[in-house]
Amino acid sequence: MQLSDREPSTAVKPVMWEELEQLIATGQSPERIEAYLAALPVGETARVLSRLTDDDRVRLINVLPADEAAGVIGELPRPQAVELLERLAAATAATLMHLLPSDVRADLLGEVRTETAEAILDAMHPEIASSARAMACYAPDTAGGLMITEYLAYPATATVTDVMDDLRAHADRYRNYSSQYAYVVDRERRLVGVLRLRDLLLARRTQPVDELMIRNPLAVRADAPLNELEAFFDERPFFAVPALDETGRLLGVVSRDAVKQAGSDRNVDDYRKAQGIIREELRSMPVLLRARRRLAWLSINIGLNVIAASVIAVYQDTLASVIALAVFLPIISDMSGCSGNQAVAVTMRELTLGVLRPAEVMYVLGKEMLVGIVNGLALGALIAGVAWLWKGNVYLGLVVGAALALNTMVAVCFGGTIPLVLKRLRFDPALASGPVLTTVTDMCGFFLVLSFASMALEKLTGVA
Amino acid sequence: MQLSDREPSTAVKPVMWEELEQLIATGQSPERIEAYLAALPVGETARVLSRLTDDDRVRLINVLPADEAAGVIGELPRPQAVELLERLAAATAATLMHLLPSDVRADLLGEVRTETAEAILDAMHPEIASSARAMACYAPDTAGGLMITEYLAYPATATVTDVMDDLRAHADRYRNYSSQYAYVVDRERRLVGVLRLRDLLLARRTQPVDELMIRNPLAVRADAPLNELEAFFDERPFFAVPALDETGRLLGVVSRDAVKQAGSDRNVDDYRKAQGIIREELRSMPVLLRARRRLAWLSINIGLNVIAASVIAVYQDTLASVIALAVFLPIISDMSGCSGNQAVAVTMRELTLGVLRPAEVMYVLGKEMLVGIVNGLALGALIAGVAWLWKGNVYLGLVVGAALALNTMVAVCFGGTIPLVLKRLRFDPALASGPVLTTVTDMCGFFLVLSFASMALEKLTGVA
């Protein structure tokens, strides 16, 4: 028995990726390099490969046997795999393409430059190339983009024996097909049934698959989007679903795994987008590229920040009379942002769980208002106490406490509903909710505290 | 052919969940209620059920046939399902437990109060209860917590015919087992081999499974953590892996799907934690509970905010002389937070991808420093220009520009490394990185701008 009882990744002895660099630089034999890669602890391969320079990765691929090289491409983070393909000879890239699963192949071809993709496709086996071209028509997060084209298909006229003979004859090839089903098609390759392979075990040998298959099988259209596929698998215990074109012809098979993975990627993308990392950044990428991508987001934010802070400029005289207020401005800005972002996160989660619909703005508003009143009063009282104790002036406490209390209510109501509104306006809520929220709550918060202070100016002067 | 071509969820005609409430309140027959639930559009069931009151959900469960009721429990968001079990009679809950998959059952029993779990287990079938008790010993995100106990197992002495006869005899029950494998065990139930069901198709009937099985099968220990399971499936094309106790006895089977789902849940959890929603909140929960949970996070934040803002209080005199600085304090605070959070997000992503190890603090520092210099200079120049143009005083521009530039470098270096440091100190980086980062960058930013201003005070007075 081989127990996979290696240590958790945090405890694995670090491998110096410089060793691999050295092996490549000194022109070691492919066997040495293969042995090095094979000896890497589980989970270290991706890290070691990702740290090489682009040039070293090209050398590595050219030195390794094709199946090992395809394995390396599969291990690399996607942006690095794409960059690598751009740098390989088209013939080399084409050979590797043949060895990759059809969905990975289609993703990669969709991400390299058009000229590179064309050159690689031209060098590929014509049949595989035409199937890859067909898949490339579909967006990545649709059935067509997620499907694989390695599946079993038989004519309706075949018998159980025919199928079993074929399975035996091509056992080696089929072992790499991960499906539990075979698909039954008519002469025009239109799907007419699905055959569960294990049902063959329970059947008479002479039975035609026609009798054994599940008729009117469920299928999806190749342009079905990810959220539809997720709903499909959430409700049904299937491992895979066939994807058809508009005329009902079988194009490929979408697995539950592929849909889960795509959904998980999207969720993590949402998190990264909310933090302003819009495209896939790895620290091994060039500094200027990384800096430029991050700046794109930051420069929008600084613009919004200047707009929000201009509210303070309007009230400069008030602030000059009661300088202590300046201490509370960043607190009110930050706390309202926190409260609002909590409401954003609950809405995003409820949308993902399917317990909230984009139209239910009033429902969210009602629910957030109540939390906003409770938390606004609590936080307002807290900050009022701090202000009062600090300066011994109860009016200062009242001004900042009331402003924070009111602004907390505004922030949770706005934060809870802004993703719904953005979604209906077809903006990406994960990307845009944060900056819009912060700008609005900052402006509102600065306005509240400074206008309250202006009204109570007589009671406040002499405070600072 | 049934194409699943329903409209995307945003376009589905809204169903009024109040209708279900009405059906329950007026004591309609189970058939009416079942028909209502069955007629709900795809994706609407969870939303409708989640909106009922706790009491109405209890009534619904008591009215429905057991298998429908178990389906409702499966559709509910987890916290509501747990709450529901707390309110049901133990005998009713036990019946429902029998109908749920073993992993869902173990999760639910692990989340209800201990007394409730004991009462339900006592009312359950002794064999199922003892298997549930065994699973409850393992943490949710380990092989033991993720495994299911519905699997096929045969003695090594069985022949292909024996297995096929058994498969035929129990075809109905086994149809719900989602595995493609059968497991071969010795007399002590220790795992000795794995049998691919479709290999039975390719075998002679008289062959013993002993000859057909894959020997020395890969397995995991029941206490293997989620990250180890993810690495296992990332590298191997298996659908499932057997989980064993320390003596090698087969306890259950962990599917690739269950591991993917748990990983995806953890990623989304990280996102929610970063936004301060620590536990699973749904807006249908009681207001005070929701407010209290959110306040737990907010009150830590307000404390940290007051500490950070106290730096401003120290420099009150400087601020009073150059009131225009008050406009820039929230901008510097917010922008440094944004820059730092980008670095946090890249580190979190690289940790997830496995291309970064927690010990590589210096690597991150080197990479972030360069981005910090580029972006610090860009953002600093921008805000310096704004300040100069606004007040016509180049020194004001220099003070705020230099402070933002320096603080951006501090923020990216600190943001990039803080998740690594927190991880090594065994804090949860997703939860703690944000508040720690914001506090440090706020204090540092306020200190920089106000101490620079103090130094240049002569050149600045008269500005505002």
Q: Which of B144, B167, B157 is nearest to B187 (CA)?
A: B157
Q: pLDDT value at position A10?
A: 34
Asked if pLDDT for residue A388 goes beyond 70, the answer is yes
Q: pLDDT value at position A447?
A: 96
Q: Which residue has the tokens 């220009």?
A: B385
| Cα–Cα distance for residue pair B257/B147, rounded to 1 Å | 11
Asked if pLDDT for residue B94 goes beyond 90, the answer is yes
Q: pLDDT value at position B293?
A: 85
Q: pLDDT value at position B6?
A: 37
Which residue of chain A has the CA closest to B176? A237
CB pair distance less than 8 Å for B2 and A323 = no
Region A368-385: what's the mean pLDDT? 96
Fold classification of B9-137 (topology level): MgtE N-terminal fold (1.25.60)
pLDDT band at residue B256 using 50, 70 and 90 as cut-offs: confident
Q: Which of B283, B271, B362 is nearest to A416 (CA)?
A: B283
Asked if pLDDT for residue A196 goes beyond 90, the answer is no
Given CATH 3.10.580.10, say whether it is the number of domain A152-274: yes
Percent pLDDT > 90 in chain A is 36
Answer whether A97's CB lies under 8 Å from A124's CB. Answer: yes
Indicate the residue type of A269.
Answer: D
B277 touches chain A (CB under 8 A): yes
Q: pLDDT value at position B3?
A: 44
Q: pLDDT value at position A51?
A: 82
CB pair distance less than 8 Å for B281 and A386 = no
Bridge partners, A162 (sequence order)? none
Asked if pLDDT for residue B275 goes beyond 90, the answer is no
CB pair distance less than 8 Å for A4 and B220 = yes
pLDDT band at residue B302 using 50, 70 and 90 as cut-offs: very high
Task: Please name the residues between 299 and 338 in chain A that touch chain B, using a CB distance below 8 Å.
Answer: 299, 301-302, 305-306, 308-310, 312-313, 316, 319-320, 323-324, 326-331, 333-335, 338
| Strand ranges, E, within B175-315 | 181-185, 191-196, 214-215, 218-221, 240-244, 250-255
Which residue of chain B has the CA closest to A160? B201
Predicted complex ipTM exceeds 0.95: no
For residue A234, the distance in angstroms to the closest alpha carbon of chain B comes to 9
Task: Please name the residues between 221 and 240 in chain B that touch chain A, using a CB distance below 8 Å.
Answer: 221, 224-225, 227-228, 231-232, 235, 237, 239
Give the ranges where B65-213 is alpha helix by DSSP (H): 66-75, 78-87, 90-99, 102-111, 114-123, 126-136, 143-146, 160-169, 171-174, 197-201, 209-212
Residues of chain A contacting B263 with CB distance shorter than 8 Å:
264
Q: pLDDT value at position A179?
A: 65
CB pair distance less than 8 Å for A3 and B244 = yes
Highest mean pLDDT among A285-289, A450-454, B67-71, B158-162: A450-454
pLDDT band at residue B332 using 50, 70 and 90 as cut-offs: very high
CB pair distance less than 8 Å for A438 and B334 = yes
A14 versus A129: the higher-pLDDT residue is A129
DSSP 3-state assignment of A153? strand
**Helix or strand run (H / E) with residue A7:** none
pLDDT tens digit string along A97-113?
998 888 888 888 888 89
Highest mean pLDDT among A190-199, B120-129, B455-464: B120-129
DSSP 3-state assignment of A380? helix
CB pair distance less than 8 Å for A355 and B167 = no
Q: pLDDT value at position B14?
A: 44
What separation in angstroms does the CA of B39 have from each of A323, B32, B42, B43? 63, 11, 9, 11
Region B409-435: what's the mean pLDDT? 89
Highest mean pLDDT among A38-42, A159-163, B328-332: B328-332
Q: pLDDT value at position B179?
A: 65
Q: List the structure tokens of A451.
A: 């206008």
Tally of CA atoms within 13 A in the half-sphere of A353 that contains its CB = 27
Residues of chain A contacting B248 with CB distance shorter than 8 Å:
1, 3
Buried b (16+ CB within 10 A) or exposed e, B327-343: bbbbbbbbbbbbbbbbb
Q: pLDDT value at position A166?
A: 87
pLDDT band at residue A462 using 50, 70 and 90 as cut-offs: low
- What residues contact A259, with CB distance under 8 A and at least 6 apart? A146, A226, A229, A230, A232, A233
Fold classification of A9-136 (topology level): MgtE N-terminal fold (1.25.60)
Give the ranges where B147-225 is alpha helix by DSSP (H): 160-169, 171-174, 197-201, 209-212
Lowest mean pLDDT, pick from A130-144, A291-305, A357-371, B1-15 = B1-15
Percent pLDDT > 70 in chain A is 92
Of A44, A46, A283, which is closest to B367 when you measure between CB atoms?
Answer: A283
State the pairing for strand pair B152-155/B181-185.
parallel
Q: pLDDT value at position B365?
A: 94
Residues of chain A contacting B357 with CB distance shorter than 8 Å:
9-10, 14, 47
Q: Torsion angle, CA of B98/B103/B105/B108, rounded to 10 degrees?
A: -170
Percent pLDDT > 90 in chain B is 37
pLDDT tens digit string along A160-193?
888 888 887 887 777 667 667 889 999 889 999 9
- What residues contact B427, with CB distance under 8 A and at least 6 apart? none
Kindly list the domain boundaries of chain A, sorted by start residue.
9-136, 152-274, 287-460
pLDDT band at residue A237 using 50, 70 and 90 as cut-offs: low
Lowest mean pLDDT, pick from A392-401, B2-11, B107-116, B318-327 = B2-11
Q: pLDDT value at position B451?
A: 95
A42 touches chain B (CB under 8 A): yes
A461 touches chain B (CB under 8 A): no
Asked if pLDDT for residue B5 goes beyond 80, the answer is no
Q: pLDDT value at position A448?
A: 96
Residues of chain A contacting B356 with CB distance shorter than 8 Å:
47, 283
Asked if pLDDT for residue B376 goes beyond 90, the answer is yes
Of B14, B290, B306, which is closest to A371 when you measure between CB atoms?
Answer: B290
Q: Which of B464, B420, B418, B460 is nearest to B441 (CA)?
A: B418
Task: Please name the residues between 138 and 177 in chain B that touch chain A, using a CB distance below 8 Å.
Answer: 164, 167-168, 171, 176
Sheet holding A214-215, edge to edge: A152-155, A181-185, A191-196, A214-215
DSSP codes joined into one string, B75-118: HS-HHHHHHHHHHS-HHHHHHHHHHS-HHHHHHHHHHS-HHHHH
Q: pLDDT value at position B42?
A: 52
Answer whether B453's CB lies under 8 Å from B325's CB. Answer: yes
- What residues contact A260, with CB distance under 8 A and at least 6 apart? A233, B257, B260, B261, B264
Highest mean pLDDT among A251-265, B94-108, B266-280: B94-108
pLDDT band at residue A455 using 50, 70 and 90 as cut-offs: very high
Highest mean pLDDT among A1-10, A264-273, B168-177, B356-365: B356-365
Q: pLDDT value at position A175?
A: 65
Residues of chain B contacting A357 with CB distance shorter than 8 Å:
9-10, 14, 47
pLDDT tens digit string along B203-222?
788 888 888 888 888 899 99
Lowest mean pLDDT, pick from A222-231, A264-273, B294-303, B391-400 = A264-273
Asked if pLDDT for residue A444 goes beyond 50, the answer is yes
Which residue of chain A has the CA closest to B177? A237
B214 touches chain A (CB under 8 A): no
- Say which CATH architecture domain B152-256 belongs to: Roll (3.10)
Mean of all residue pLDDT scores within chain A: 85
Asked if pLDDT for residue A336 goes beyond 70, the answer is yes
State the pairing for strand pair B250-255/B240-244.
antiparallel
**Helix or strand run (H / E) with residue A211:** helix A209-212
What separation in angstroms does the CA of B451 have from each of A304, B20, B309, B366, B402? 26, 64, 14, 27, 11
pLDDT tens digit string along B129-147?
888 888 878 888 899 989 9
B125 touches chain A (CB under 8 A): no
**Helix or strand run (H / E) with residue B312:** helix B287-314
Buried b (16+ CB within 10 A) or exposed e, A19-28: ebbebbeeee
Residues of chain B contacting A270 with CB distance shorter than 8 Å:
271
- What residues contact B193, with CB distance under 8 A and at least 6 apart? B156, B183, B184, B209, B210, B213, B214, B215, B217
Residues of chain B contacting A358 with CB distance shorter than 8 Å:
10
Q: pLDDT value at position A52?
A: 85
Region A397-406: what's the mean pLDDT? 96
Answer whether A276's CB lies under 8 Å from B338's CB. Answer: yes
A188 touches chain B (CB under 8 A): no
Percent pLDDT > 70 in chain B is 92
Asked if pLDDT for residue A235 goes beyond 50, the answer is yes
Indicate the residue type of B365.
Answer: L
Q: pLDDT value at position B413?
A: 96
Q: pTM higher than 0.90 for the full model? A: no
Sheet holding B214-215, edge to edge: B152-155, B181-185, B191-196, B214-215
pLDDT tens digit string along B24-45?
888 777 888 877 877 776 556 7
Highest mean pLDDT among A35-39, A274-278, B21-25: B21-25
Task: Please name the residues between 382 and 411 in chain A that touch chain B, using a CB distance below 8 Å.
Answer: 382-383, 386, 390
A104 versus B95: the higher-pLDDT residue is B95
Asked if pLDDT for residue A373 goes beyond 70, the answer is yes
Given CATH 1.10.357.20, say whether it is the number of domain A287-460: yes
Q: pLDDT value at position A3?
A: 43
Lowest mean pLDDT, pick from A404-408, B274-278, B346-350 = B274-278
| Cα–Cα distance for residue pair B119/B134, rounded to 1 Å | 16
CB pair distance less than 8 Å for B309 and A328 = yes
Asked if pLDDT for residue B116 goes beyond 50, the answer is yes
Asked if pLDDT for residue A461 goes beyond 70, the answer is yes
Q: Which of B134, B144, B349 is nearest to B229 (CA)?
A: B144
Phi-psi region for residue B129, left (φ > 0), alpha (ψ -120 to 50) or beta?
Answer: alpha
CB pair distance less than 8 Å for B257 and A256 = yes
pLDDT band at residue A429 using 50, 70 and 90 as cut-offs: confident
| Cα–Cα distance for residue pair B410/B408, rounded to 1 Å | 5
